Amino acid sequence: MSTKAQPAATDSTTPFASSTGARRRAAALADRLEGGARSLIALAEEITDAEWQTRIPGDGRKVGVVVHHVASMYPLEIQLAQALAGGNPIAGVTWADVHALNAKHATDHDRVTRAEAIALLRSNSATAAAAVRALTEEQLDRAASVSLNSDAPLTCQFFIEDHALRHSFHHLARIRSALGR
């Protein structure tokens, strides 16, 4: 029998879990989310004022409104992901609800400034990434039905990838296309 002290086991709830690798997957997801936000911020900072006001074909919203939209959706997307992480379904949310929310946002923020949108994007993406980093492997793997996806049982990780993480990349591509970049 050894009398040497054994290192304490680190589970995913300890503050040092991410440094030991227990939350590598969550950290990788958060890093990718932040990368998408940084890319969208970089484009938003370099475009002209006229480009900021350009309407995106097939969407109708102005570039600036869409940048603000991405920023403003992070809290809701993370809230829904956290529901899945807790094993709770996302029920009663329809694509019609999403479209109505987007239309209201576009009306309410039609005159959003670049500084305001970029500041919100920086802040909300950092908060979202921190929330993702806090998720355990078990939470990322947890699945429950999602009404937006025909009540398919989706994992928390899939939902993060399909919503909060993908969102900036999706709109960045559409903005670049609209601006011919």
- Name the residue range of residue 137's domain: 22-179
Place of tokens 């601006």: 179
Is 152 contained in some domain?
yes
Is 154 contained in some domain?
yes
**How far apart, in whole angstroms, are the C-alpha atoms of residue 128 and residue 165?**
9
pLDDT tens, 111-161? 999 999 999 999 999 999 999 999 999 999 999 999 999 999 999 999 999
The whole model's pTM is what? 0.86
Q: What is the CATH number of the domain that holds 141?
A: 1.20.120.450
Give 1's pLDDT tier (boundaries 50, 70, 90): very low
Rg (CA), the chain: 19
**How far apart, in whole angstroms, are the C-alpha atoms of residue 27 and residue 103?**
33
In degrees and rounded to multiples of 5, residue 16 shows phi and psi of -95, 5
What's the domain count of the chain? 1
